[in-house]
Amino acid sequence: MAVSDLGKEYVFALAGNPNSGKTTLFNELTGSHYEVGNWAGVTVERKEGICKYVYHNHITHFDTHEHETEHKHDEAHNHIRIVDLPGIYSLSPNSAEEVITRDYILREKPDLILNIVDATNLERNLYLTTQLAEMDTPMVIALNMMDALEENGFSIDVEKLQKKLGIRIMPISASKGRGVQDLITECLNIASKKQLPLCPLTYGAKIENAVNEIQSEEGLNRLCSIKLIEHDIRLKSDIKSEKTTAVLEAVSKIIADIETYIAEKRYKFIKSITKECVSVIGENKQATRTRKIDSIVTHPILAIPVFIIIMFLIFQITFGAFGSMLSDFVDNLFNVQFAALVEKGLDAVGAGAFAKGLVIDGVIAGVGGVITFFPQIMLLFLFLSFLEDSGYMARTAFIMDKLFMKLGLSGKSFVPMIMGFGCSVPAIMSVRTLENERDRKLTLLLVPFMSCGAKMPVYAVFTAALFPEHAGIVTFSLYLIGIFLAIVSGLIFSRTVLKGDTPPFVLELPPYRMPTLKSTFHHMWEKAKDFAIRAGTVLLAASVIIWLLQNLDLRLHMVTDSRYSIIGMIGQLIAPLFKPCGFGNWQAAVSLISGFAAKEAVVSTMTILYGAGNSAGLVSSLSEVFTPLSAYAFLVFVLLYVPCVAAVSALSAELNSKKLTLFSICYQIGIAWIMSMLVFQIGSLFISL
């Protein structure tokens, strides 16, 4: 590395096929925590991060962490900014992702293209590589998944491959963090020397002559010149010289279908070098395993039952005996032990009744009512992350495609919906990755039906109170009602407000992989983190406000009976609205309002309003106030009514239409009221029979 370059900021553009491990490498390099998903195009947004690896500028060898052969300490270290480009298979401008990548490299001129290549899928990945190598930009190949090579039954002669391709290749394993330091050191080396790749791929004398002429006439790089010859419309409008037009005409007279001709040349080149550098050493266990699992999991008849069984098992574990045991443990720890400790502390400093009430019955009870369910939220997210990382989630899109076609959607919309089970906000944001405008709008209107993680504490506390024996199945049924209504709504919307065509389905199914514990826990935490933050912010604030409103009247005097408090009056005003649904008590009405701030707040509010103190107390209060039927009607309402403020604002931003947002809000509330009323009224008929 040239000494004068120390301290300069380098920009490395990370490019590669979908599922090549781009996100994994990006996270490893930047230490920033992003979602790692398996469906095509999840990284349509542009992501950037500062590479953390550069700060220790020493060379560590692949596989042997003990043998650090060379130490080079640069005081003025280089900054490297990593830009994550969308996952693509080629650079023809067929999709938004391909255009983003090409334009980025052409316009922003990164110092280096870091091309990540999946070693277990070499031929397909190298197609993009041959195009990137023609962009006259320094380039390094990160040959990823080296750890999985043997399992895939072959080995690669990296030295030879590097020579044949004319591009520096660094073997890595992104998920294991192996070889990454060496990779960055080498990237810095090549970027600082501005060393261009020497891809020896040529297309025959006639095309080469034409390419050379266009390059000198138009000042384009090799790839763009070739694209012009391939009749790239986006580039054609920028032609400056008439000579270029003449050259293009001449070439198209010689070769009729130039695009196919060039593509074939690329494939031939790739085939010839992989033949020399890749040797088969055994059976491809990964492919065999994937085929075996898929024969059941994507089976035309078995697929959907298998999916339902998997989901059902997850709910049984999360909400059944195991999940409740964890919750009880936390409940005792926080709401009993911790609360007692705080009370002692407050007594010791001589705190008055007001302060004690606010802290113990307000903050601790309110926040604690939700923290109790944290283990269950984590458990659900752990399973969802596992399904995502293993490759199963991508299959669900495939499985659901047929069903979704009937809704006028593609199977791809299923992924945001499944994410909606975690939290609606990222789910709503991920809808961006769908190609078609109508698809996006329709999916956005349906995501709120997916029961988000924040509603779990509500289900958990109600099932514990009124359906202790059947918690798993009752909760599962709520999720099903949400899905069912999403289907019905989809059918209605796609035939009325949002008519249109369904785009064809293209989604790559990645091979099944055993996710690493580290990445699964990482993703679980990514999802659960927001809940932890919210417990400390929104819920804390809501608990304080609710407690104050419950203990003060309009003249701000303390009340002894909260019925006469501010909140009691508001509650009594709106409670009659819910009478037909079976839960016309003012506490329930108030908790639904605070649920708009955050769904967990329904539980916090109830804990405070019923003066329950902790979850166990709330469970016994609820079992007195509610009947199983009115409780179920209440849960149906909570399931379906308008999502929290954060989700509504995300929805409004993505829908980009006040009218549709308002429609969505009214629709959700309307459906919630109607369904909950129907549950209670029809249920009452049967019960009185």
Can you tell me the distance from the alpha carbon of 88 to that of 94, in angstroms, rounded to the nearest whole number? 10
Name the residue among 188, 184, 224 with its Cα closest to residue 99: 224
Q: Is 443 in the site for Mg ion (CB under 5 A)?
A: no
Nearer to Mg ion, 40 or 303 (CB): 40
Candidate residues 284, 519, 627, 684; the one interacting with ligand GDP per rule CB under 6 A: 519
Torsion of CA 550, 551, 556, 558, to 10 degrees: 160
By CB under 5 A, residue 385 contacts Mg ion: no
- For residues 138 and 191, the answer to whether their CB atoms sit within 8 Å is yes
The amino acid at residue 450 is: M
Instruction: Tell me the per-residue interface mask from 369 to 398 with ligand GDP, x by CB under 6 A, - otherwise.
Output: --------------------x---------
Which of 22, 47, 395, 527 touches ligand GDP by CB under 6 A?
A: 22
b/e 381-420 (16+ beta carbons within 10 angstroms → b): bbbbbbbbbbbbbbbbbbbbbeebeebbbbbbbbbbbbbb
C-alpha 576/C-alpha 584 separation (Å) is 5
With respect to ligand GDP, which residue has the nearer C-beta, 38 or 137? 38
How many CA within 13 A on the CB side of residue 180? 22
Q: Considering the rule CB under 5 A, would residue 43 count as an interface residue with Mg ion?
A: yes
Q: Give the CA-trace dihedral at 518, 393, 598, 488, to 10 degrees.
A: -170
Q: Which residues contact 252 (CB under 8 A, 6 or more apart)?
A: 231, 258
Choose which of 24, 101, 115, 430 interacts with ligand GDP (CB under 6 A): 24
Candidates 20, 23, 551, 594: give the one binding Mg ion (CB under 5 A): 23
Number of H helices, E strands in the chain: 32, 8
Output 32 or 684, the one with its CB closest to Mg ion. Answer: 32
Start-to-end CA distance of the chain, whole Å, equals: 86
Region of 16-24, 58-66, 323-331, 400-408 interacting with ligand GDP (CB under 6 A): 16-24
Q: Which stretch binds ligand GDP (CB under 6 A): 144-152, 189-197, 411-419, 617-625?
A: 144-152
19 lies in the site for Mg ion, by CB under 5 A: no
Closest CA to 399 of 296, 528, 499, 500: 296
The answer to whether residue 30 forms part of the interface with Mg ion (CB under 5 A) is no
436 binds, among ligand GDP, Mg ion, none (CB under 5 to 8 A by kind): none
Quick check: 501 and 423 in contact, CB under 8 A?
Answer: no
Contact set for ligand GDP, span 387-446 (CB under 6 A): 389
**Binds ligand GDP (CB under 6 A): choice among 145, 418, 431, 602:** 145
Closest approach of Mg ion to the CB of residue 522, in Å: 14
CB of 549 to Mg ion, least distance (A): 45
Q: How far is the CB of 392 from ligand GDP (least distance, A)?
A: 11
Q: Which does 21 bind (CB under 5 to 8 A by kind): ligand GDP, Mg ion, none?
A: ligand GDP
Quote the crossing angle between the two packed helices 392-406 and 285-297, to the nearest 10°. Answer: 40
Mark the segment that binds Mg ion (CB under 5 A) among 19-27, 132-140, 199-207, 505-513: 19-27
| Tokens matching residue 168 | 């520096």
Q: Is 592 an interacting residue with respect to ligand GDP (CB under 6 A)?
A: no
Choose the binding region for Mg ion from 36-44, 309-317, 500-508, 674-682 (rule: CB under 5 A): 36-44
Judged by beta carbon, residue 174 or residue 639, the one nearer Mg ion is: 174
Q: Is 134 in the site for ligand GDP (CB under 6 A)?
A: no
Q: Are 203 and 225 in contact (CB under 8 A)?
A: no
174 contributes a contact to ligand GDP by CB under 6 A: yes
Applying CB under 6 A, among 10, 12, 15, 23 the residue interacting with ligand GDP is 23
- With CA atoms as reference, report the closest residue to 199 among 277, 92, 127, 247: 127
Candidate residues 6, 59, 148, 483; the one interacting with ligand GDP per rule CB under 6 A: 148
Show Cβ contacts of residue 588 under 8 Å, excluding neighbours closer than 6 positions: 575, 578, 606, 634
Contact 269, 131 (CB under 8 A): no
Q: Which residues bind Mg ion (CB under 5 A)?
A: 23, 43
Q: Which residues bind ligand GDP (CB under 6 A)?
A: 18-24, 36-38, 87, 144-145, 147-148, 173-176, 389, 513, 515, 519
